[in-house]
Structures are given as C-alpha cells and as structure tokens.
Amino acid sequence: MAFFTDTTVCIGCKACEVACKEWNDVPSTPLELTGFSYDNTGGLGSESWRAVKFVEQRLPEIRQQGADGAFVAAGQQGPDLRMVGTDGFAGTPDELDLTRADGDGRALAVDAAAGAGDFRWLMASDVCKHCTTAACLDVCPTGALFKTEFATVVLQDDICNGCGYCVPACPYGVVDRRPDDGRAFKCTMCYDRMKGDMTPACAQSCPTDSIMFGTWEDMRAAAGDRLEEVVAAGLPGAQLYGEDTENGVDGCGAFFLLLDDPEVYGLPPDPIATTKDLPGMWRAAARAAAAMAVGIAGVVLVAGRRRQR
C-alpha cells in the first residue's frame, strides 16, 4: 500500500496533522509561530508524524526558475520576463503576475485586485517515506522496526530501547526520539487501520484529496496521470518524487507530486539508504580479516621454523 500526495491541491489546512495525532495518540505540539514560516509544526518529529510544509516563494525566487517554473494561464501578454531590469522586475507587481508566463517567457497581465503577483505558496504534507530498502529497519537491534504485509515500515515503541541507531540511519531525517524517555517514533501508515480495511487517518481527513491512499500500483498510475495533467496545464517544472524503484532506497511507499525541486520542500534530492553498502563492506572486511589471518599464520609458522633451527 502507498500514499500519493498531490501538493498542487494542498491548502495547508493541517487536517492531516490533527487526524494523525488524534488517532495515534500523538502528543500535541506548541502553537507558537516559529518565526521562520506561518507553519508552527516546523517539520517531522517524534510528536509530528505528519507535517504540512509552507514554502513562500517571493518574486526573485520564482523568477530565477525562468519559464520552466512558470505556468500558462489565459490572459493578456506582458513584457518579456527575460528582459528584467536591474531592480529585478519586468513590471510593477500591480501590473504583472511574474509567476505566470508562457513558453516564450512572456508575462501574462492579471487583475491586481486578485492579489496575485507578489508570491506563491507551495504547500506539502510530508510523512515517512516507508522505503523499500529501509535503513532504519536494518540497524534496529531489538526488532522494534519491521516490514508489514503491506510493505510499509512500522516502529513498535513498546519494543524500542532508545538506542537511537535509526535516527541517523534515515536518509530523510524522519525518525526522531522523544526527549522524555528516548524512544523513537514515526508514521506507521495507520497499520492498525489498514488491518481493519480502513484508510489511514490523514488521507481520510484530507478535504481536497491531496493525500491519496491505495495499492502502490494504483497510486503510481494516479501520480503519473496527474503529472501529465499538471505539465499540460503549463507547469513543466512539476515532477514526481519518491516513486522511482531505482532510486537510492529502491522506491518509496509514500511519494509526491512537487511543483519545484525537492530541496525547496526540504527534501533530499538523491536520498540513499545508509545501509545499502553494508553487505559489500562486510565482505571487504571479511576478506581483509582472512588475509590478515593468513599473514599472521605465515609469520608464526616462519618464526617457529627459525626457533627449531
């Protein structure tokens, strides 16, 4: 089973965060603003298994993307965005929406009363990626982490001994320990609900269907179809993230449709399971140990013969 998160329709309501906390009895988080964003969650952690990211892109950041990061919309064409002045504007914000451009890079005039033209919001509900090759599971010494019959990764907090090995092992920075007792926690994709043929709480509560849930094959097909729609609508910079079975974690059980590069959303562009090279490392270590043992045995044998002489 898998999540497909379509960030193009996320409205930042945080219903998924609330539903996750309520169903899984996850402690509440402070409501104070962080000062870095309108988002008060800040990111995934032991007490935030779902986290809606608020990315505010102002004009200079959007303009640096050029036409590849823009979309086509009906309207009157304005100045060429490739010929901006030293102040960085092709026109006044009241006259132009610099986030909108056609394939030739020309801005499209919009109604200033609509409030467009100064920035755009990129919102995305982040979650554990439920990697096919899960480094957190590989390093767990107690069996607290296991792969379910749904190909998801579950962390059993009652078995966790708080060693913390899983925290640095995760290439996405998802797993976190609670400061009071040191045990690790993360999203379980509502394993208990899935066993009862129920939809995970976050997907069930999403009012825009930004978070979709189903079999991996169905979600991958839906993601591909949606990507084609978004690109055809004039967003050639849109891309899928995490669906590739040949990526560094051999594919994810939670993948996303993004409107910008992964780094913009705080996601690693090329994550790699930190344990993928362990078998080769152990084989190399075994060969080195065997060679050392042969060498030591040779030295002992030669020394013994010399003493006999």
Start-to-end CA span in the chain (Å): 72
User: pLDDT confidence of 280, banded at 50, 70, 90?
Assistant: low
Q: What is the tens place of the pLDDT at every residue in 48-86?
A: 999 999 988 764 444 343 444 443 333 334 444 444 444
Quick count: other Cβ atoms within 10 Å of Cβ 221? 13
* Tokens 């400061």, located at residue: 179
pLDDT tens for residues 212-231?
A: 999 999 999 999 999 999 99
Give pLDDT, residue 302.
67
pTM: 0.71
Q: Cα(175)–Cα(139) distance, rounded to whole angstroms?
A: 13
> Which residue bears the tokens 């303009």?
63
User: What is the model's pLDDT at position 279?
Assistant: 61
Neighbour-count burial of 53, counting CB atoms closer than 10 A to its CB (0-12 exposed, 13-18 middle, 19+ buried): buried
Read off the pLDDT of each residue in 168-190 and give the average, rounded to a whole number: 94
The closest alpha carbon to 125, from 50, 56, 189, belongs to 50
Beta carbons of 211 and 203 less than 8 angstroms apart: yes
Secondary structure letter of residue 28 according to DSSP: P
CA distances for 229 relative to 224, 234, 254, 257, 272, angstroms: 9, 9, 20, 11, 29
One-letter identity of residue 65:
Q
